[in-house]
Amino acid sequence: MADLDLARFPRLPLLGLPTPIEPLAGLTRQLGDALNGVRLFVKRDDLAGFGGGGNKLRKLEFLLGAARQEGADTAITVGALQSNHARLTAAASARSGLACELFLTRSVPREQEAYRRNGNRLLDDLFGASVHELPREADNLAAAQARAEALKAEGRRAYVFPAGGSSPVGCLGYAACAAELLGQAEAMGLDLAQIVVPNGSAGTHAGLAAGLAATGRNPRLAKSYAVLAEAEQAFAETLEKANATLDLIKPGARIAADGIVLDGAHRGPGYGIPTDAMREAVRLMARTEGMLLDPVYSGKAFAGLLHDIRAGLYPAGSAVLFVMTGGVPGLFAYPDAFSDASE
């Protein structure tokens, strides 16, 4: 089993660990020869006991650990209006007894009532967060930091989390995940050819790459599909964050540029904008496995993975692991994307 000692970093347990690895048997039966003999597995990071679940809880374990160590009484974070990270920050703050403020921008050109008020946005309010909605062009991180300073002047102490929780400290969550899943794969007799994730704020891929490198594995084992930034920017951010995270674990260690594998071909016209391939992937997973992909992150990433398998990228017999990162509440902000008119 891969050994990775992160005990020196403060951590607040939030996600029941380890999350299981499961085969996609129903999808395999449905697709048959189209999978070219590739064996598909999922790691269920969508499972959690509260907040609607999702991968951001791994990052929040370390972020909230750091916040509590610093004596914070308020968690502040930023994101798009339907941010999964913001929703889970609100839920985890409620569970931890912290006040929570969210600075959310209208980053996606969608004006439907469901997008503005349902999904994650509805849950932000239910979890008791104070929500500040900002226009698309606003610098929400600057606004969050200004709010933290205002609270400090009142004798409060706020800890500001970046978008997606993807600071080096937050990325430690997926460094830990790398060691966890390697141990599970070994116990299951799986020789993984690829670990696949979506890439939004880059922290999930960066953490995995850092964890793989820190445990002596090739960071190229992790691959992501960009869904937020275009490929060049997503690559640069992922490499930078991977090395910053690895430096926390093993000071001075580095991942070379060729250690990051990223595909930007399945983002579509922009962040949060539905694609036909995403719709197919979401419907396919739902109708063969009863599992839910979200329309912004995992739906596009799984669409990319299916494309590459059908194109023969992986040899027959390869074991490929897709990390189910959650984000299910986001489906309820996109009902029109799955209406008959979108078929």
Neighbours of 319 (CB within 10 A): 18
Q: Work out the angle at residue 67's Cα, subtended by the Cα atoms of residues 66 and 72, and round it to the nearest 5 degrees.
A: 150
Cβ neighbours of residue 230 closer than 8 Å, sequence gap 6 or more? 264, 267
Would you put residue 249 in left (φ > 0), alpha (ψ -120 to 50) or beta? alpha
- Residue type, position 96, single letter: S
83 classed as catalytic: yes
Let me know: does 101 contact 133? Beta carbons within 8 Å: no
Cβ neighbours of residue 94 closer than 8 Å, sequence gap 6 or more? 100, 127, 128
Q: Which of 83, 166, 167, 298 is catalytic?
A: 83
Residue 147 to residue 91: CA distance in whole angstroms: 20
Q: Residues 265, 136, 73, 149: is their CA dihedral positive or negative?
A: positive
> Where do runs of H (alpha helix) occur along 165-289?
168-188, 203-214, 231-249, 276-289
Euclidean distance between the first and the last CA atom of the chain, given in angstroms as a whole number: 45
Residue 336 to residue 139: CA distance in whole angstroms: 29
Let me know: does 173 contact 88? Beta carbons within 8 Å: no
Q: So which residues are the catalytic ones?
A: 83
